Structure 1
């Protein structure tokens, strides 16, 4: 249903490095970059797969408080790798990898806070 999502960040390069590391284990990389000159206002970096950016960060001034975004992971090992990579890239723990049975029996997720305090999750809904 959602085609793409954009998130304003306080330091574009710091967030670029964080998301490159954190999203790498689930297969996402930078798919597109748009400079402030090209957009006529703010710089944007789009992450995704197969040439399709679906998660964008920009140097626009944030207009709201911290947000929550969840990324689909292909398996539980990728959730674990996301968590480790995000912490190594400067993220802060907000929920170690594990089952969240209150959602459903196969909800395996990990949560980190990005450099701006946004709650970033990787989740796998598949059984082991």
Structure 2
């Protein structure tokens, strides 16, 4: 359904270090870097990618209030690895990895912000 998500950054090397680690923990890779752009997603697939770049309007990058990117995880271990990688690479905690029983049975999430302040969630829910 989603073709791409663009996340603004004023510091591509710092953003790439964060996303290499955090998205790598979920099995995604850096697909390419072209000038001031970088793309992440599943190996060999350029659909449903996350793009990093400087804002087109030339204004400083800043996180959007109320916007969050939810990323699928295959297990509790992947959510834990995502959270640890994010924290080790300049991320900040918005909710540590763990069960979220108020969301329903089996929900396991971690909430982080990247170095710019964009909010991300890694989400695992076993099939019913």
Does the pair score TM above 0.5? Answer: yes
Moved over 6 A (4+): none
Mapped to 2, the partners of 1:46 and 1:13 lie a distance apart of 13
Mapped to 2, the partners of 1:72 and 1:108 lie a distance apart of 11
Tell me which residue corresponds to 1:59.
54
The Cα offsets for residues 34-83 of structure 1, whole Å up to 9 and x where unpaired, read as 22xxxxxxx21100112224111112244763531111111110000110
Q: What are the ranges of 5 or more consecutive residues in structure 2 without an aligned counterpart? A: none
Mapped to 2, the partners of 1:48 and 1:65 lie a distance apart of 22
Task: Measure how far apart 1:116 and its partner are.
Answer: 0.7
Map residues 1-128 of structure 1 onto 2, 5 A cutoff: 1-35=1-35, 43-53=36-46, 54-60=49-55, 61=59, 62=61, 65-66=64-65, 67-126=67-126
Task: Measure how far apart 1:25 and its partner are.
Answer: 1.1
Q: What are the ranges of 5 or more consecutive residues in structure 1 without an aligned counterpart? A: 36-42
Mapped to 2, the partners of 1:25 and 1:126 lie a distance apart of 18
TM-score normalised according to structure 1 size: 0.85
Mapped to 1, the partners of 2:71 and 2:2 lie a distance apart of 12
